[in-house]
A and B are shown apart, each in its own frame.
Chain A
Amino acid sequence: MKRLLASALLLAIVPQLTSVSAQPQKKDEVAKLSLKVGDTAPDFTLLSDEWKTVKLSDFHGKKNVFLAVYVLAFTGG
């Protein structure tokens, strides 16, 4: 009986989850990952954790750059 109840609850939740996860895809996105290999990387200016400005152009002709974009520091995601 407990197993039957658990199955019923799961089915009740699934349609709701599906509609929530599908929702962002219906909305207009601000930007797409439009850059591709071989493109010139747009220059940028960012702030370091020591509050210093870091420009991509600072590395031009000197170093390769590896950018790892992550969100929400501390989450480990």
Chain B
Amino acid sequence: MDSPAANAAFAKQIGVKFPLLSDMNKKMLTSYGILKAYEQKGDTYQWALRANIVIDKDGIIRHIEGGDSAVDPNTAVSVCTDLHKKQSAP
């Protein structure tokens, strides 16, 4: 939910080589079930879970995890690596 401007500054700070994306209208977060909310005294508070998702070339989800475990990207990275190996195999 960070703005493109905040992401641009963050990208520059950490020197990433891939795009940092913003979901300003929260559509993607909602459709993927990543947006959470609770009400308190009539106000709704929303936040996004940490999540790692690997989607293959055919648009099929090959890995999805949310919450604390998603802080560590290693499982998703290994899924991605295996997927790439399978696709590169003759």
Closest Cβ of chain A to B34, distance in Å, is 6
Between-chain CB contacts (< 8 Å), 8 pairs: A24-B36, A30-B37, A31-B33, A41-B53, A44-B31, A49-B4, A69-B52, A73-B9
Hey, which bits of chain A sit against chain B, CB under 8 A?
A: 23-24, 27-52, 54, 56-57, 59-74, 77
Residue of B8, B32, B54 near A42 (CB, 8 A) is: B32
Residue of A27, A29, A46, A64 near B55 (CB, 8 A) is: A64
Closest Cβ of chain A to B77, distance in Å, is 8
Name the residue on B nearest A31 (C-beta).
B33
Residue of A23, A31, A35, A47 near B22 (CB, 8 A) is: A47
